Amino acid sequence: MPDSAILDLSRLREAFEDDDAGIIELLEMALGTGAKHVTSLSEALAAHDLPGVARAAHGIKGSASNIGAVAITRISAEIEDRARTGRSDGMSELSAQLDAAYAALRETVREYRAEAL
């Protein structure tokens, strides 16, 4: 079973009626599109474009929360909140945490695939 601090599968199980293959396909897709959104976020951070950072983080948060990517949801919510309130401090740490959370999710999904299929 995946680590519930990284990935909470309860909603996806309801949505996919316990179809592991379907869930894994969706999670892998989320990892692919997530990488694109993280790139947008990094670009906005580099350009000190706080509204852009907030938008990108908001998008990541929405998708991540839908798939139950708990850690990514929490970190992207923190980034969005800081960007919206004009605080740029600690952004590079949070960005690194986000990368780590994605790496952890990727690993969790890989394990899940190995176990389930």
Rounded to an integer, what distance in angstroms lies between the CA atom of residue 20 and that of residue 53? 33
**19: its two tokens:** 């179809």
Number of residues written out for the chain:
117
In the numeric block, the tokens 């969706």 are attached to 26
Site string for other proteins, 57-96 (x = CB under 8 A): -xx-xxx-xxxx----x-----------------------
Answer whether 34's CB lies under 8 Å from 63's CB.
yes
Q: Which is nearer to other proteins, 79 or 93 (CB)?
A: 79
- Rounded least distance, CB 58 to other proteins, Å: 6
58 vs 106, which CB is nearer to other proteins? 58
**Contact in structure between 13 and 26 (CB atoms under 8 Å):** no
Residue 6 touches other proteins, criterion: CB under 8 A: no
Q: Which residues bind other proteins (CB under 8 A)?
A: 11-12, 14-17, 22, 26, 29-30, 33-34, 55, 58-59, 61-63, 65-68, 73
